[in-house]
A = this chain, B = another copy of it.
C-alpha cells in the first residue's frame, strides 16, 4: 500500500507519485492552502493540499492533530527559501492528489512537541508519548543496538539459548520476585536476577559460546537508573582467558557503536581496580573529567593536625588531594556548596587550599588549614599536585571508602559543572576503559565476615587460591568491568571450573557445605563432570542505550517502564486480583483490608 515512509521522501523521488501513511503532526492553513506535516516512525514530510481538488481539500479541512491518514501525491520541490535543512524531506513537499482519513483522533491531552511534560503525564499517556520523535528515535536505536549485538555475536559463533524465567529462589544478593506455584502447594518460583548459573551450566554442557538478551528481575527500592525488570546482554564462553573474553566483548561494543551510532570508539584504557581507586576514588571513573587524586596519606602521618593525621595513621584510612586547575576563582559560597555535597558521601568536611602564589610557599596560600601543616607537608602538597597559581586543592581525609566516594563524586561534579567545562576540565568524548583485577572479597565489618565482590563463582587469579585461606583481602579475582563515561556498562569474570576451588570460596564466604549444596548443589554437581574453563560478561542494555542516546533517564529507552514506585501508569499494574485466584495459588493476603 505504502510506497515509502514519510521521513524518507526526498529529492531522489522528485516528480514521482508516492503513497504515504502517517499521522497529522501539525496542520496549517496558509493563503487558502492547507499544509500538513505528515509523520511516521522515520520522520516528517510536508503535504500540500490545494483547493483545486475539492474532494481532497474537503477531507484535509477535517484533519486535526494525530489523525491517521493515507495520502497519495506527487513529490515536488519546496518553493525557494522554504526548505528545512533539519529534515531528510526538507527540500521537497508532496502535492496531495488523494487524502483518506484512516482513523480520526480526539484531541490529545498534550502537544507532542511539548518538552516540559511531567513523567506522570508521559507514562499515563505512554502511547502518545511514544509517538514523539525522541521516543521513536530512542527505541529504534535500542533495536539497532540489540540487532548489531546479535549479528556480531552470531559471527563470533555465539549461540542464543533461552534460560528459564520461572526458576529457583536463592536468597542471596538482591530480593527475588516470587511466583506462587498452583501445582505445588506452599512452593514458589523466583524470577531470575540473572541467568548466571544457567549460563555456566550451558558451558559445562558444551555449548562453548552462549549469549542471550534477556529480562532480569530485582525487587529493590528503585533509584533513578533502576527498573524492576531490566535487560541484560548476557555472554559466556569456554576455553578463553580474561584478555580474550575482554577482546571479544570490547569488539562487540566497538562494532555496535560504529554500526548503530556511526561512532568509532577510541582505544580502551585499562586500569587495575587498585589504580582506579587510587587515582579516581572510583571503580568506574569518568575519564572525560581531567582531574586526578594525589595521594597524601604518607605525607600527613607526621602533621600535627588530627583531621589529617588521624586517618593517615589509622588502618584503612586515607588522605588524598584533588587539584582543581583554575579553581582559585571559586567563591566561598561555591566551596561551601561542595562541602555540603561531599557530606552526602559521609565526609565530615572539605579542607581546601587556594594557591595564590606558589613561589611564596605558605604565604602564597589561602586556606583555613595551612596553619596546621608543617612546611615540609606544604611543600610536598605543592610538589605532588603540581599546583600552579590560581589553582584550588581540595582534601579528603577519612576512612578510605569515605575519601574515595566523596572526593570521587566531587571530581565528577566539578568536571561536569559549568566551571569545569569552561576551564577545560571536561572533554566531551567517549572514554571507555576496562577496570581489571578486582579483589575477590571485601570485608563486612558489621557482620564480621567476607563477602564476594563480584559473585561467589568468580575465579581467583592463578596462584591466589591459597590466599583465600590465609589473606582473603589480598586475593585478586579474574574479574573485569567495562566502563564508559563513568558508567559501568558491563561486568564479568572467569568462573571457577573446579569443584574443589568452588568449595574453597564458599568456605571463605562462610557458606557451609550443607548450605552450598541446598542452594547451588546443581552447579557443584555439574562441575564434577569435566567442566571446561569458562567465563563471561553481562552488559546492561538499558544503560548502554541510555548512554548512546544521551537520554535523561533509563525510562526514556524502555517502551513501557515502571515508575520509581514500581507501577505501570498505563495499565495500572500491579492491581488487585480475585480471591479465587489467590485460593488456587494457596496463598492469602496478610492485610485483606488493604486490597
Contact = CB atoms under 8 A, between A and B. Distances in A.
A177 B182 CA distance: 9
Contacts of A591: 185-186, 586
A206 B130 contact: yes
A250 to B, nearest CB: 18
Nearest to A531: B103
As for how many copies of this chain the complex holds, the number is 2
Interface stretch (A261-269, A300-308, A555-563): A555-563
Contact of A586 (B168, B179, B240, B589): B589
Interface residues of A, number: 124
Interface string A137-155: 0011011001100100010
Given A179-B179, A239-B2, A106 B528 contact: yes
27 contacts: A68-B532, A102-B497, A105-B528, A106-B529, A126-B205, A127-B205, A127-B529, A130-B205, A130-B206, A139-B159, A139-B161, A142-B161, A143-B159, A164-B562, A168-B571, A168-B574, A169-B581, A171-B577, A178-B180, A181-B566, A184-B565, A187-B595, A189-B574, A198-B560, A201-B560, A522-B572, A586-B591
Given A204-B127, A571-B522, A573-B167, A103 B530 contact: yes
Contacts of A529: 66, 105-106, 108, 127-128
Nearest to A573: B168
A139 to B, nearest CB: 6
A393 interface: no
A397 to B, nearest CB: 40
Contacts of A105: 528-530
Contacts of A178: 179-180, 577, 581, 585
Given A177-B179, A530-B66, A576 B186 contact: yes
A275 interface: no
Interface in A519-559: 522, 525-526, 528-533, 558-559
Nearest to A2: B239
Given A165-B165, A529-B108, A181 B130 contact: no
Contacts of A180: 178, 180, 587
Nearest to A569: B522
Contacts of A66: 529-530
Interface of A: 1-2, 5, 21-24, 39-41, 66-68, 70, 102-106, 108, 126-128, 130-131, 136, 139-140, 142-143, 146-147, 150, 154, 159-169, 171, 175-191, 197-198, 201-202, 204-208, 215, 217, 219, 228-229, 231, 238-241, 244, 497-498, 522, 525-526, 528-533, 558-560, 562, 565-568, 570-578, 581, 583-592, 594-595
Contact of A184 (B41, B159, B574): B574
A187 B21 contact: no
Contacts of A585: 178
Nearest to A153: B147
Contact of A559 (B22, B202, B572): B202
Nearest to A209: B41
A183 B565 contact: yes
Contacts of A229: 164-166
A568 B206 contact: no
Q: Which of A23, A171, A197, A571 counts the most chain B CB atoms within 10 A?
A: A571
A136 B209 CA distance: 12
Contacts of A208: 5, 40-41
Contacts of A497: 102-103
A504 to B, nearest CB: 16
Contact of A168 (B2, B244, B575): B575
Contacts of A583: 590
